[in-house]
Amino acid sequence: MDIRERDSVARVLEEQRPSVVFHLAAETHVDRSLDDPAPFVAHNIEGTFQLLEAVRGYWGRLSASERAGFRFVHVSTDEVFGSLGSEGLFVPESPYDPSSPYSASKAAADHLVMAWHRSYGLPALVCHPTNTYGPFQFPEKLIPLMIIKVLSGDPLPVYGEGLNRRSWLFVEDHVDALRAAAERGEPGGRYLIGPAQDHSNLEVVEFLCDLLDRHAKDLPKRPSRNLITFVADRPGHDWRYAVDRKATEAALGWRARRDLASGLEKTVRWYLENRSWWQDILERRYRGERLGQPVTPAQDGGKLGRDGTVDAAR
């Protein structure tokens, strides 16, 4: 259903009687938000408001002990804090400085959640994960899109020179963190969730190419790195995201277990073994489109020494 349909959400809450609501419903793709911001405003802001009101009504009808144990876990993003330079980390107290319609809509949703906690006492908390990846990720995202394009022998579009940096969180580690937040997080708290390292987008794509060269049979083109094609950078492209995870690890007793190498290995194997899942999506819902145009040597002054592209994180 649509989370903007408050009555429908309220009906489900009464039927299911949850003790925790995890709010992960959102439009999440930066490129699409640049092309058409309206759905991001509608779903991420209006949708969060309607969901909060439905949950507030349900929570208010619980017994005192049930209200005390209830949690609303809002899943935000590290992108609400804007861009880091080559040094430093985001902390829970970092000021908001969103750069895209996507991150601005998520920042607005965060403020609504915290206002409902402070104004109405709703036991809500906010989690700020880094870039999540793994099995079942929709193909518009960087990692599944690059895997699928390598298997098809298509160019791999990478923004700019691929030097923008992100921290990558394997989906199972993310799930463990959200469960820990629901069980041990404090209402009104903010929790930054991510691994210790960040990597450039180009490093991630090159790593994927090497894994697919090793594990995939009958690739149309080898080596896969030759498919990398740099494209014009997108507007407002944040340079780097990285989070200080120490406070979250101490408060929740959680730590990311997978590094990027083992997470990507598992992800690549899953997409190779589950082609019917993503091929059905490509045939019926999404054709692998990306924004951005290829950068030619003439356009960039001959600085790019290869004929390729690396895409941004989200």
Taking 80 as the threshold, does the pLDDT of residue 245 lie above it? yes
Map residue 75 onto helix, strand or coil: strand
Predicted confidence band of residue 287 (pLDDT cuts 50, 70, 90): confident
The arithmetic mean of pLDDT across residues 64-75, rounded, is 97
289 pLDDT band, cuts 50/70/90, is low
Q: Among the options 102, 159, 241, 271, which is catalytic?
A: 102
What's the rounded mean pLDDT across residues 280-308? 52
Predicted pLDDT of residue 304: 32
User: pLDDT for 16-57, tens place per residue?
Assistant: 999 999 999 999 888 889 999 999 999 999 999 999 999 999
Q: Please, what are the domains in the chain?
A: 6-284 (3.40.50.720)
Here the tokens at position 81 are: 């804090």
Of 314 and 187, which is predicted with more confidence? 187
Name the catalytic one among 31, 78, 140, 238.
78
- The whole-model pTM stands at 0.88
36 is catalytic: no
CB 241 within 8 A of CB 90: yes
pLDDT at position 14 is 97
Cα separation values, 211 from 119, 157, 262, 272, 293, Å: 50, 18, 11, 11, 27
- The residue among 161, 129, 101 whose CA lies nearest residue 303 is 161
Active site residue 58: no
Say what the pLDDT of residue 291 is: 43
- pLDDT value of position 284: 85
Rg (CA), the chain: 20
Which of 120, 128, 59 is CA-nearest to residue 92?
Answer: 128
Residue 78 designated active-site? yes
The pLDDT tens digits of the residues spanning 186-210 come to: 999 999 999 988 999 999 999 999 9
Can you tell me whether residue 271 is helix, strand or coil? helix
Q: Does the structure show a pLDDT above 70 at 72? A: yes
Please, which pLDDT band fits residue 295 given cuts at 50, 70 and 90? very low
Catalytic residue among 27, 31, 58, 79: 79
With pLDDT > 90 as the criterion, what percentage of the chain qualifies? 80
Across the chain, mean pLDDT equals 90
